[in-house]
Structure formats: structure tokens, C-alpha cells
Chains A and B, each alone.
Chain A
């Protein structure tokens, strides 16, 4: 049965990437525009209460794509808004965290100390 969990993660993750690819190729968006679109989409899906079921269904297939970043932030903001009402929408902004950002900052900083850009073709 575990195999199917992997299969679903593979397929859902793959499909989200395909949506990104179509945005780039057919929609002629830059990578930056594509990622922003997906993040906002993840945020809206969470607002509609659809992203959590997707995570339950697909596991890493839904948490690894960047859409989950929008979901995580929205989740934090909505949780605060639920608790504290109007003030919560604002304070929620300071509560929200994303391990992806923090990790990327730390490792980015460390990598800058170690690596140099190399113009290799292969």
C-alpha cells in the first residue's frame, strides 16, 4: 500500500510541475511569473479549504511544490484570524513561517561562503 502513496506523490507532484511548464511554454511566462502564479494559486486553494485534503491525499506530492508555500502562509494567517479576528489578520502575518524560506536563507548564506559560480556547459 505504501507504494501507492509514493505513486500518488509522484503523480500529483508531477502534475503540478506540468501546470508550471504549461504556464511557461504556452502562457509564455518567465520562471518568476510562473512561480508567483503557483504560490498565489496555493494560497487561494487553501482559502477554499482544498489544499489540506490535497496534502492528505498526495503527501509530499503536495507539500514539496511551491504551491504549498502559499498554503503554509495562508494557513498561518487564517489560523490567527480565526483566533483573534481582525487584528489576527495583521498579527497572523508575523506568525506565519515557512521552513522553506528559513532553510533557503541559511543554506544560501553558507553556500555563498563555499561555492563560486562556474560557467560550465555540462
Chain B
């Protein structure tokens, strides 16, 4: 049996990815997390001196905090196993990536373990976020300077 034949056989037997089920789960859980975010945002606006604009940061921080606790308790892992992108894409998933890596590094000490590992998973998100922000701003500036678009 050559590798190509084998891969055919393997594909026949391997159960297919349940696309529809996964998409539905991601939609429901992702949507629910955002709805909770929306509720927290309204709470901040109603009970504190926050506006639509300024409540965003407080909401994000609160969501991150909740996700950090859930990660520590091992609940976010279960949620992630169920929802896939539904729990990974919201900022709570970013929190999960950072916090889980930090907890894991504890046995190697605060500096080398926690410090060195905390961005093991989330580091690429930060790198590409900052990097693309730089290039997008640069391109926009060039276009504005050339008079193609306005700010």
C-alpha cells in the first residue's frame, strides 16, 4: 500500500468534521459571550459614569477577569472544547490563552516560567495586531498624503 492509497483509506474511515454542528455551537456560544458583554456594558453605563465609548474598556477588562477565573477553575477549557471558535474568538479566549500559559509556567518560577511563557500562545496575536496597526496606519498616511483618501 503506497502513501496515497493509504491516505484515501484513512480519509474514508476518519469521521468527517461536523461542520454544521461546530458552526452552530460557535455561533451560539460566541453570540452569548458578546451578549453578556453587552449587558455588562449597559450596567457600566447605567450605574457608573461611563459612556458608550468609555464603557468598552471596562467591559473588556471585566470579561477578561471573568475568563481568567473560569480558566483557573478549568471551566473555560471545557467551554473551549465545546464551542471551538465560539469561545476562542471573543476577548475571553485571549484571556484564556494568556492565563492558562501563565498558570502552566508557575513551576518554573515567576520570571522564567510565568514571565517567559505568558505570551506563548497570545504573543502572536499581539505581534500581528501591533504590526498590522503600524502598516495600516502607514498605508493610510501614504494615501492621505497622496490625496487619494481623507482621514
Partners in one complex: yes
Chain A stretch 75-97: residues in CB contact (< 8 A) with chain B: 76-78, 80-82, 85-86, 88-89, 92-93, 96
Selected contact of A20 from candidates B64, B78, B89, CB within 8 Å: B89
Q: List the A side residues contacting B63 at CB < 8 Å.
A: 64
Selected contact of A66 from candidates B31, B68, B125, CB within 8 Å: B125
Selected contact of A35 from candidates B33, B71, B83, B125, CB within 8 Å: B125
Contact B136 A44 (CB under 8 A): yes
The chain A residue sitting closest to B105, CB to CB, is A112
Q: Known: A34-B88, A64-B33. Is A99-B129 also a contact (CB below 8 A)?
A: no
Selected contact of B17 from candidates A25, A89, A101, CB within 8 Å: A25
Q: List the B side residues contacting A12 at CB < 8 Å.
A: 34
13 contacts between A and B (CB under 8 A): A9-B31, A9-B38, A18-B30, A21-B26, A47-B136, A76-B133, A78-B151, A82-B151, A92-B137, A99-B61, A105-B98, A108-B99, A112-B110
Please report A residues at the B interface, Cβ cutoff 8 Å: 2, 5-6, 9-26, 31-32, 34-36, 38-40, 43-44, 46-47, 58-61, 63-70, 73-74, 76-78, 80-82, 85-86, 88-89, 92-93, 96, 98-105, 107-118, 120, 122
Please report B residues at the A interface, Cβ cutoff 8 Å: 17, 19, 22-23, 25-35, 37-42, 52, 56-61, 63-65, 68-69, 71-74, 78, 83-86, 88-95, 98-106, 110, 114, 118, 121-122, 124-126, 128-130, 132-134, 136-141, 151
